[in-house]
Every structure is written in structure tokens, then in C-alpha cells.
């Protein structure tokens, strides 16, 4: 039995808490908001984020990070990316040697993935990213799900794989942490665009093109950043992009749909219950792309729309009237540069 501290009590953190507790591990969940912690401890449910899902009595809740981490053997971080570094710093004196991140995003200002932040703040820790197509409500219902655990340490990847795997939650393992994390982060931007297409009623032809061209864009940027192309064609890239672009429970797709229907971005954001990571990621990815000389027209358009610099219809027109290209432009060059 492992003693697992989960930092973050959003829908995914609670789902993974139930999952790991169900495998017989001791689980303590920390959240920064005392009123949320007390509510979860009392009601054993979050009807807004996870309707109809009960949190087992044995799962412990705490708003004191040192208490949550006391005697822990593993720390699972599931906080929004904009609070990831601050959370790691707050936990630093109490962190165990094993860290797993289930956060999908990029840090504003630095463009770093969560592994980059851990490398800065806790470089001696074993680290793995858990990512892939995993809508929390479906996992909580026990529906079949497959994800990937990526770590540069092959034994630790195998450990994380064994820690999470069940007959309904299949975990593959990999070593390309950069690719796994960039796939999980960048797909949220494309899902925002797909939601906008849904909101504007553009049809399945347009949405299919957005998914496909979005994947090409994601691959250009990720591979230029050091990722392996096969990682982006797997669960962390294609798989996660498909579910996030099409699921009605996807936060990013839902936010995009609201904007596509005509809501102002600020108003749409204010209506969201949980963080849609694609908004900050679009901004961070756009800066990364500029620094690497990679074309990311969909990401640029999403960032401009969410900042109020253009309207969805104008962005669509701009995407459709760009200079005509070869389909796989930039990808072969990115792969060659990465060798």
C-alpha cells in the first residue's frame, strides 16, 4: 500500500483519489481553499463537477499541505498549470521522492511544461507525467480508459503504470516526457478552436479539418521542441486531442463553443466552473512558436480571439484565405532538426 498525497481537488484530482483509494492505497487530498475542503469532507461529493459520484469515506481531505504530505510516499499533482510552481514550492519541504503530474498546460512567461518546473524546483525527484484521453466523469463512472505514464526513468514509468492500472483504466508507459506533456497541453488549444467551430455551426467537415490541421500544428511545435513524432500520434497527442475536441464534458471545447456562439471571451471564462487550460496555453504556445520559428496559425487565432483582438468569424476567414501550402509542411523539417 502506498501513501499518496494528491494536490488539487478538482474533478480530475477527485477522480484519481477515488481510483487510487479503490486500489487499496491511503489517499489524502489537499486543496488551497478551506471551504472547498470542508464541503468535500462533509458531503463526500461534488455535484457541480462530478454529479452522481461519491467520494469514499476513507479518502482524507486537508487544506494544510504539510499535513497532506506527512508520511506520503508519492505526490500526485493535479492543480491548474498557473498554480503548479507555487504549489511545488509550498510543498517542497515535505515532498516525497516520487512526483507524478496529471496537470496539462504550459507555464505563462516561461513556456515550461510541468516537468520543467519540477526540474527547477525539485530536481532530485523521480518524475512522471500521467496524460492521455481521460475525461474525469467517464473515468469516475468506470468506463474504459487508456492513458500513458511518461518518465525518463524506465523503472519509474513501470512503477506508475502499475500504480494506476486496473481492468478499466489501462496505462501504457513511455520515456518521451516532453512529447507527452506538450501533447496534453497543446491539444487544449485546438479543442478551444473546435468548440468555436461548434458554436458557429460550421459542421463536421470544418471540425475534422481543425482536428487534423491542429494535430499537424501541434506536431510541428512539439517536435521542434524536442518531442518524438510518434508520441504525438499516440494517446498523449491524437488520443487526447480527439476526446477533448468532441466530448460534451470537455472544458476547453465547451468554452470555445460559448465564444463561437457570440459570448465575449471574458464573460465565457467567468461562467466556467473549472479552469480551461487552453486559454493560457494558447498564449504560452504562441510565444514558444515565435521563438522557434514555427507556424501555428490555429493557435495564433485562438489566442487573438480569447484576448479580444479578433472575432471568430474574422479568424476563420483568415485561416481559410492563408497562402496555399503543401499538406505536411514544416513537419519533415522539424523531425530532421530534432535528430
* Active-site residue set: 187
Beta-carbon count within 10 A of 63 CB: 17
- 324: which 3 cell numbers? 496555399
Q: Give me the sheet containing 74-77, strands edge to edge.
A: 60-62, 26-30, 3-7, 74-77, 98-101, 126-131, 145-150, 169-174
**H/E segment holding residue 145:** strand 145-150
**Which cell is 278 given?**
487552453
Q: What's the rounded Cα separation, in Å, for the pair 70 and 84? A: 20
For 4-16, b/e burial (b = at least 16 CB within 10 A) is bbbbbbbbbbbbb
Residues 6+ away with beta carbon under 8 Å from 150: 128, 129, 131, 157, 173, 174, 175, 176, 177, 179, 180, 181, 231, 236
Rg of the chain taking only CA atoms, in angstroms = 19
Is the sign of the CA dihedral 65, 66, 68, 71 positive or negative?
A: positive
In eight-state DSSP terms, residue 285 is H
What gap in Å lies between CA 188 and CA 234, rounded to an integer?
Answer: 16
What angle, rounded to 10 degrees, do the helices at 278-292 and 203-224 form?
Answer: 50
DSSP 8-state assignment for residue 215: H
Find out whether 269 and 282 touch, Cβ atoms under 8 Å. Answer: no
Answer yes or no: are the C-beta atoms of 302 and 209 closer than 8 Å: no
Amino acid at each position: 500500500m502506498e501513501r499518496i498525497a494528491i494536490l488539487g481537488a478538482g474533478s480530475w484530482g477527485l477522480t484519481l483519489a477515488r481510483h487510487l483509494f479503490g486500489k487499496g492505497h491511503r489517499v489524502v487530498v489537499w486543496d488551497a481553499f478551506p471551504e472547498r475542503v470542508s464541503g468535500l469532507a462533509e458531503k463526500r461529493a461534488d455535484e457541480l463537477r462530478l454529479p452522481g459520484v461519491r467520494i469514499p469515506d476513507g479518502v482524507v481531505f486537508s487544506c494544510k499541505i504539510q499535513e497532506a504530505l506527512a508520511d506520503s510516499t508519492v505526490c500526485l499533482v493535479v492543480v491548474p498549470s498557473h498554480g503548479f510552481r507555487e504549489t511545488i514550492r509550498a510543498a517542497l519541504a515535505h515532498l516525497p521522492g516520487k512526483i507524478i503530474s496529471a496537470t496539462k498546460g504550459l507555464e505563462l512567461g516561461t513556456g515550461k511544461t510541468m516537468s520543467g518546473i519540477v526540474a527547477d524546483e525539485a530536481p532530485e525527484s523521480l518524475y512522471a507525467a500521467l496524460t492521455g484521453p481521460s475525461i474525469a466523469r467517464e473515468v469516475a463512472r468506470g468506463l474504459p480508459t487508456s492513458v500513458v505514464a511518461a518518465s525518463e526513468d524506465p523503472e519509474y514509468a513501470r512503477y506508475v503504470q502499475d500504480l494506476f492500472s486496473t481492468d478499466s483504466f489501462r496505462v501504457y508507459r513511455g520515456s518521451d516526457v516532453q512529447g507527452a506533456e506538450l501533447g496534453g497541453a497543446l491539444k487544449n488549444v485546438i479543442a478551444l478552436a473546435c468548440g468555436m467551430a461548434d458554436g458557429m455551426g460550421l459542421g463536421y467537415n470544418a471540425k475534422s479539418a481543425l482536428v487534423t490541421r491542429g494535430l499537424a500544428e501541434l506536431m510541428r511545435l512539439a517536435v521542434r521542441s524536442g518531442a518524438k513524432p510518434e508520441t504525438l500520434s499516440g494517446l498523449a497527442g491524437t488520443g487526447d486531442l480527439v476526446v477533448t475536441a468532441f466530448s460534451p464534458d470537455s472544458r476547453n471545447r465547451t468554452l470555445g463553443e460559448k465564444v463561437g456562439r457570440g459570448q465575449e471571451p471574458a464573460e465565457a471564462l467567468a461562467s466556467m466552473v473549472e479552469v480551461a487550460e487552453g486559454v493560457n496555453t494558447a498564449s504560452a504556445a504562441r510565444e514558444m512558436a515565435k521563438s522557434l520559428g514555427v507556424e501555428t496559425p490555429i493557435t495564433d487565432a485562438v489566442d487573438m480571439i480569447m484576448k479580444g483582438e479578433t472575432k471568430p468569424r474574422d479568424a476563420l476567414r483568415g485561416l481559410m484565405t492563408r497562402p496555399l501550402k503543401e499538406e505536411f509542411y514544416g513537419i519533415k523539417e522539424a523531425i530532421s532538426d530534432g535528430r
